[in-house]
Structure 1
Amino acid sequence: MNALKTLFAGAVLSALSSAVFAAGNPLSVHVLNLQDGLPSAGVNVTLEKQDGEHWSKLNTGTTNEQGRITALYPEGKALEKGTYRVTFKTGEWFKNHQAATFFPEVPVIFAADGSVPHYHIPLLLSPYGFSTYRGN
């Protein structure tokens, strides 16, 4: 019973520390593999901002053991209104897990209008399909 309490307390502290860390950054992402229901650790992700007809790279990151990047926006910068693209390098991830996929990458383009202080982009992923939405 004590081991269960310790495990639960550790999970709660981990979740809280992720939430506190993310609170200072306006953008986070989360990748879950629908095939096995587990977080997708090790997914490379790129963040870009649209500038006219071009995209400017702002940051990159790799999902942690929980499948999360809690702070994808460049540290110390305020989120500017505009159109952004988060690209999940899913082909690399599936190749590293010896699995085929139809999608070599998943770009998610969204408009940050400043109506919320934090944007969260979850990606539910399988080899031949994906889904995303504006999370919180």
Structure 2
Amino acid sequence: MAGYLTTHVLDTARGCPAKGIRIALYAVSGNTHRKIAETVTNEDGRTDAPILPAGDFATGTYELVFFCGDYLRATGLAGDDPLFLDEVPIRFGMSDPGAHYHVPLLLSPYGYSTYRGS
């Protein structure tokens, strides 16, 4: 079985999924970033398909960038410009070629966290 990568975003300030957040996935090699995918979260705060499906999966270092500013502004939680959180990058490694990697974002206007989910 080939590995794959999924993600989702939860709005911890409002206690609900974060709909409409644009997410970009980059392959990282040294100081080089190469965009390999882009998507938007759905009603459930998830992507409609894996952001890196099994057919495209490769081990290595990656970075997810969550473009949260527009979402935070739309919810009225953003605060003043410049926003404390606008783009949230998460860099991580995937070493198991047959694993499902899940990297969620738990978001509030002034903080975020992540973990390796299932």
| Fold match by TM threshold 0.5 | yes
CA distance in 2, matches of 1:47, 1:84: 7
Structure 1 residues 107-116 or 82-91, which shifts more?
A: 107-116
Deviates more, 1:85-94 or 1:113-122: 113-122
SS of residue paired to 1:35: coil
TM-score, length-normalised on structure 1? 0.75
Say which of 17, 20, 26 aligns to 1:42: 20
- Higher mean C-alpha displacement, 114-123 vs 38-47: 114-123
After TM superposition, give the deviation of residue 99 of structure 1 in Å: 2.6
In 2: Cα distance, 1:64 partner to 1:75 partner: 21
The residue that corresponds to 1:83 in the other structure is: 61
Between structures 1 and 2, the one with greater strand share: 2
Unaligned runs of 5+ in 2: none
* Residue type of the alignment partner of 1:120: H
Which of the numbers 120, 124, 127 marks the counterpart of 2:106?
124
State how far apart, in whole Å, the 2-side matches of 1:124 and 1:89 are: 13
Percent identity of paired positions between Structure 1 and Structure 2:
39
Q: Specify which structure has the bigger relative contact order, considering alpha-carbon pairs within 8 angstroms and separated by 6 or more residues.
A: 2
The answer to whether the 8 A contact 2:2-2:99 is kept is: no
1:49-64 to structure 2, matched below 5 A, reads 49-64=27-42
Which of 64, 68, 73 aligns to 2:52? It is 73
Give distance in 1, aligned partners of 2:103 and 2:117.
6
Question: Given residue 71 of structure 1, which amino acid in structure 2 is its aligned partner?
Answer: P
Deviation string for 1:53-100 (max 9, x for gaps)? 2000000000010000141015732x1111000011011211222331
| TM-score, reference length from structure 2 | 0.86
Structure 1 runs, 4 residues or longer, greater than 3 Å off: none
What SS does structure 2 have at the residue aligned with 1:76? helix
| Structure 1, unaligned runs of 5 or more | 1-22
RMSD of aligned alpha carbons: 2.0
Find the structure with the greater CA-based Rg: 1
- Comparing both structures, which one devotes a greater share of its residues to helix? 1
